[in-house]
Amino acid sequence: MIFLDSWVWLEYVFSGEKTEAAEAVIQRANTADTGGLIAPTVITEVSYRVRRVEDNATATETVQAIHDFEYIESLPLVDEIAEYAAELRAEYYDPGERELSYADAIHLATAIVHDDCDALYTGDPDFGGIDGIDGIETVVL
């Protein structure tokens, strides 16, 4: 199973420079063999950015499209993940170098806590140098 960071979805929705790579990761995640994982904060970030760039209707459609993928699941944010995210952010946040946001820390913690997840896909450079934590490969597209 692979975690799909907000960056992957936004790159795909807005047809960025790495749209093809983002689409390939989404399609791979949406298979019974691999499976995909997101956290509620992915929905928050994607919905917010699409509302800011496009409009409310497009944001609603985008979120619905994410939920419609058969093999991509959302793991609820629970206290265990939130506390672990705080630990990860405290350890890996480096002002001016690696500004790991709270949402990014939640995404990483969610990927680590889920027993079947083995990789987190993103394009966010703030994940650079964070790899191999509890068996999670961090792939920066």
Predicted confidence at residue 42, as pLDDT, reads 98
Strand partners for 98: 94
Predicted confidence at residue 126, as pLDDT, reads 86
Mean pLDDT score across all residues of the chain: 95
Give burial (CB, 10 Å; 0-12/13-18/19+) of 15.
Answer: exposed
With tokens 């929705």, the residue in question is 13
DSSP state of 125: G
Q: Could you report the per-residue pLDDT of 106-132, keeping only the tens digit for each?
A: 999 999 999 999 999 999 988 878 888
Predicted confidence at residue 66, as pLDDT, reads 98
Q: Could you report the per-residue pLDDT of 26-65, keeping only the tens digit for each?
A: 999 999 999 999 999 999 999 999 999 999 999 999 999 9
